[in-house]
Amino acid sequence: MNADGAAAGDPARVRDAATVILVRDPDGPEPRVLMGQRGKHAAFMPNKYVFPGGAVDAVDAEVPVVAAEVEPLSARLSEAAPAGIGPAVLACAVRELWEETGQILGVKGVWPGAVPAGWTSFAATGHLPSAEAMAFVFRAKTPMGRPRRFDARFLLVDAARLATDPDDFSRASDELTHLHWVRIAEARDYELPFITQVVLAEIAGRLPDLTAPALVPYFRNEDEALHFERLGGVSPLG
């Protein structure tokens, strides 16, 4: 589901969301990340270059995700999400990546029982969604006053884990345009949201390490100050 319309009729509602950061050649001289441009008429971050992602759908909780219980991913998500929503966040990440880019994070397998609505095209590829090698690296909540608000968990994955050709976007929807692999060193030349710039800086500073940091950063804005947390420590920014 496109995050633009996810909160229609309830602009103050904060929706759980997932964002996928695929890194290509993380240990090479020019590591790249997969990004696309949002439409100019989008209600949320128009014209901006972003990572694939979107809001969690209710049906995502019904989806079997391979390796969803692997630690420390499971425990980290449990700390940063309402009880039981961690697997749905992982499913959302896989679904949004598939819808927006046509890329698959999954393993070959047979779905147990009926395929949930919204997942039929993914299931038709013969894959089960997989969280293998996903690392929860950042959390950010959209500031108050925005027309759409999301509580997003950023999940980092080596592009080598894709089950598809990383240069083939023929099955992508039209939610993102100009899909391509952006050199991290050149990403600031693009029109990026502030939080995307922050996340990229965090990732670039740790490459080629794609594992989760010991303390996952969390940006939130619930009052007059922007807060930055690292699993228990809180400091207002600006």
Dist CA 109 CA 60 (whole Å): 18
Dist CA 203 CA 135 (whole Å): 11
pLDDT tens, residue by residue, 54-99:
999 999 999 999 999 998 898 888 876 666 789 999 999 999 999 9
- Segments forming the whole domain that contains residue 106: 3-237
The number of distinct structural domains making up the chain is: 1
Q: Which residues contact 66 (CB under 8 A, 6 or more apart)?
A: 106, 107, 109, 128, 129, 130, 131, 132
CA 177 to chain centre: 17
Full-prediction pTM beyond 0.85? yes
Q: Residue 124 sits in a domain of what CATH number?
A: 3.90.79.10
Average pLDDT score, the chain: 85
Closest CA to 136 of 189, 194, 85, 193: 85
Which of the residue ranges 42-46, 176-180, 230-234 has the most confident prediction, judged by mean pLDDT? 176-180
pLDDT of residue 1: 38
Going by the DSSP 8-state scheme, the letter that residue 52 receives in this structure is S
CA 201 to chain centre: 16
Dist CA 159 CA 23 (whole Å): 5
Averaged over 212-233, what is the pLDDT?
Answer: 67
For residue 2, pLDDT beyond 50: no
For residue 15, pLDDT beyond 70: yes
pLDDT of residue 150: 86
